[in-house]
Amino acid sequence: MTESAPASAPRVAVILLAGGIGSRAGFRQPKQLEPLGGKPVLRWSLDAFAAHPAISLGVLVANDDVMTAAGSLPEGWILADPGAERQQSVANALAALTGESDDARVLIHDAARPGLTAHVIDRLLAALDTAEAAIPTLPVPDTLVEQAHDEAGDVVDRSVLARVQTPQAFRLGTLRQAHGEAIEAAATDDAQLVRRLGVPVATIAGDARLHKLTYAEDMAILSGLLGTNAMRTAVGMGYDVHRLVVAKPLWIGGIEIAHSHGLEGHSDADVALHAITDAILGALADGDIGDHFPPSDPQWRGAASHRFLAFAGERVAARGGRIDHVDLTIIAEAPKIGPHRPAIRDRIAEILAIPVGRVSVKATTTERLGFTGRREGIAAQAVATLSIPEI
């Protein structure tokens, strides 16, 4: 698990470029919307950044129709308009970050590289501790030759060459200066603009999974690299219970239900969402809700539980997995859950960004036996079924 950045660390922002058409790929829609492993190519990068604890905010550079097709933005993200060229798109995103100090860090990534991992992000941020800019690179494995008129020329020394990937990392002040001084100077990536300032650019080990989607045949390569064709089923179970108390709102399944009592807890005590969150984390073998949102932490006091469930869903997406089904049982004498079941199903599906047909909600009583039968509390249990890549 990636550890959170210290509280005193500079804020980290992301610029995710998804404004291109990708005509060379030959798809009927922008290549960033092509399905890969059950979700759009763009969604892979969005989910990977959303799941990383060091990321504070993000700017997605895309047209409105691209965002609509790809799904909702992660919490704390905003949308910026793309420019005619990549360089203008980055400038538009920088304009949206005017509230950030020059000391902030920024990662610029191309949505056409869906195989982003937390390890690459960690290495880039670590490099910025001592450098103004850093890029991931890979060695060139093939023999290279000059070519003219379909004839091979001299061999090029590949030992001094490297393949450059994204995301690229910068101290925000340096990147602003590089774009401000670029004027008419064109560049295929932002590291080139920074180097023109005379600022050294550090390199870190890249990742083959960051292969760029350029042509249609790259989809098969990405499917193999990301393991989207080798999935396994994982099942997790969750259980939660909270005491009923007077003078508190009652939240169950992400909706507020009118009742004489509410549930007592450090957050909003939504037993249904807590149980599903634990079921999903259990299927991922990723601890439980208390590990990620400890009740000893005051920042979660009174927190809305949909944030916990959304986090669990993002953890699935970051692993390249999908949520196939959620089965929830609410155990309560009162209030009656039946009238609220459709709204609860809709809300859970909305939070997890899955079709409502994958969400089952049931309710039962304990025939007046035990603490639920005495109306002292409400319990919930859930089972989550996931498909996740083979490790």
What is the Cα–Cα distance from 82 to 65, expressed in whole angstroms?
12
Give residue 297's pLDDT.
84
- CATH code reported for the domain at 12-226: 3.90.550.10
What is the Cα–Cα distance from 222 to 229, expressed in whole angstroms?
10
Joined together, the tokens standing for residue 267 give: 């957050």
Please report, for residues 13, 19, 158, 289, 384, the alpha-carbon distance to residue 89 in angstroms, rounded to integers and kept in the order given. 16, 8, 32, 38, 40
Do residues 241 and 378 make contact, with C-beta atoms less than 8 angstroms apart? yes
Give residue 1's pLDDT.
43
DSSP string over 134-186: EEEEEE--S-EEEEETTEEEEEE-GGG-EEE-S-EEEEHHHHHHHHHHHTT--
pLDDT of the chain, 391 residues: tens digit per residue: 444 544 567 899 999 999 876 666 667 788 898 888 878 899 999 999 999 999 999 999 998 888 888 788 888 899 999 998 889 999 999 999 988 999 999 999 999 999 999 999 999 999 999 999 999 999 999 999 999 888 998 999 999 999 999 999 999 999 999 999 887 777 889 999 999 999 999 999 999 999 999 888 888 889 888 876 667 899 999 999 999 999 899 999 999 999 989 898 888 999 999 999 999 999 999 999 989 998 888 888 888 999 999 999 998 888 778 899 999 999 999 999 999 999 999 999 999 988 999 999 999 999 899 998 898 999 999 999 998 876 5
Give residue 70's pLDDT.
79
Does 231-389 match 12-226 at the fold level?
A: no
Within 8 A by CB and 6+ apart from 116, the residues are: 44, 45, 48, 49, 109, 167, 209, 210
The verdict on whether omega for the bond into residue 355 sits within 30 degrees of 0, i.e. cis, is: no
What is the Cα–Cα distance from 322 to 324, expressed in whole angstroms?
6
Give residue 136's pLDDT.
97
Give residue 22's pLDDT.
60
Do residues 327 and 383 make contact, with C-beta atoms less than 8 angstroms apart? yes
Boundaries of every domain in the chain: 12-226, 231-389
What is the Cα–Cα distance from 287 to 280, expressed in whole angstroms?
10
For the chain, how big is the Rg over CA atoms in Å?
A: 24
> Mean pLDDT over all residues of the chain?
90
Do residues 240 and 387 make contact, with C-beta atoms less than 8 angstroms apart? no
Give residue 228's pLDDT.
67
Neighbouring C-beta atoms of residue 253, cutoff 10 Å: 29
- 130: exposed, middle or buried (C-beta count within 10 Å: 0-12, 13-18, 19+)? exposed
Give residue 149's pLDDT.
84
Within 8 A by CB and 6+ apart from 173, the residues are: 101, 102, 103
Neighbouring C-beta atoms of residue 147, cutoff 10 Å: 9
Give residue 5's pLDDT.
46
- CATH code reported for the domain at 231-389: 3.30.1330.50
- 150: exposed, middle or buried (C-beta count within 10 Å: 0-12, 13-18, 19+)? exposed
Per-residue DSSP letter, 73: P
Q: Quote the pTM value.
A: 0.59
